[in-house]
Amino acid sequence: MTFLRPVFLLLSFFLILSCSKADKQRNAYGEALGTTYAISYYSEDMIPLDKALDSIFERVNQSMSTYMESSDISRINRGDSLVEVDTLFQNVFKLSKDVWQHSNGYFDPTVGDLVNQYGFGPESGPKEIDSVTIDSLMRSVGFQKLELKGNKLVKETPEIYLDFNAIAKGYTIDLIGHYLNSKGVEDYLIELGGELLAKGVNRKRESYWTVGIDDPTQEEGQRELTATIGLQDKAMATSGNYRKHRTDSETGAQYVHTINPLTGFAQKSDLLSVTVLAENCALADAYATAFMAMGFDLSKMVLSQNKDLDAFLIYATLGGEMREYATPGFKELMEDL
């Protein structure tokens, strides 16, 4: 299952490859869910992390991978009404509904058919895109058309195609965090496909975990930071495709194409990148997706209404100038480069 979005996050002071035995820093690296992961944690004793990770990734894939024909979500998308979903699916469904409501519908996992139509999903594409096609597909879009009754998902219409890819990666990170917590690990940093969950401190520095955000003015292949922050007991997710932005030949405005779940069309967005901080990574992941669809002004409004979220937004003005906005809580965590 691929949970990759265009994420451009560079970790700073993350996994230190050589550490003294006294520090008891332990690291794990690998590939999963179509991307890579890196985990750094402090523990006096070795824990069976590799085995636990295999189990978590397998459960997530079996429950929510649209790339596995045998997964629960794939069977549901094919119209199988007898599927009994597990607690992972139920938790992600409830989290998705919460974000859908608080984002005024800009986060909507029922856009799976639209994603496939534009060529971004597991089905090859893109396919023909016109107003007639989009109008037809929009009949099966809308999270209000789904209901979870116990362990059964009830769809208003059988054509609804559900896709949790914009939240499931963050949720997977939270599952890994829960496992480390259960083993008494108090200080760790988990990274999966650019999303992060930090707890405690980096004992090497005797301080928080320091992470960085890419400067979007750099060409692809170059790595310079536009900001660094200290991350502690927080989750962080970044979404953006600013390296593929376009310039309007008439106005000079820069924009990216993002699918608007309210209209079904890929719209111009002045928000080029967003980094979200939240109490867990599933929420950070989902809101990062929602903000990209909203654009700068709507994102700023939602952030002002939700004090549990902080964010760093990189956006373009009508004149093509790149600007930055950080919520007060995010500013407090930012460091001088």
d(CA 224, CA 244): 17
The rounded percent of the chain whose pLDDT value lies above 90 is 64
Q: For residue range 135-181, what is the model confidence (pLDDT) as tens digits?
A: 988 999 999 999 999 999 999 999 999 999 999 999 999 999 999 99
Least confident of 2-6, 183-187, 207-211: 2-6
Does residue 9 carry a pLDDT above 90? no
pLDDT number for residue 84: 97
Contact 100, 108 (CB under 8 A): yes
pLDDT number for residue 317: 87
Mean pLDDT of 233-259: 67
Q: For residue range 58-88, what is the model confidence (pLDDT) as tens digits?
A: 999 999 999 999 999 999 999 999 999 999 9
Does residue 220 carry a pLDDT above 60? no
Buried b (16+ CB within 10 A) or exposed e, 220-251: eeeeeebbbbbbbebbbbbbbbbbebeeeeee
Q: Please give the full DSSP string across 244-289, using - where no structure is assigned.
A: G-EE-TTT--EEEEEE-TTTSSEEEESEEEEEEEESSHHHHHHHHH
- The DSSP bridge partners found for residue 27 are 40
Q: For residue range 308-319, what is the model confidence (pLDDT) as tens digits?
A: 999 999 998 888
Site of tokens 């199988």? 80
pLDDT number for residue 13: 39
User: Please, what are the domains in the chain?
Assistant: 66-160 (1.10.3980.10)
pLDDT number for residue 4: 37
pLDDT number for residue 133: 87
Does residue 114 carry a pLDDT above 90? no
Mean pLDDT of 241-259: 56
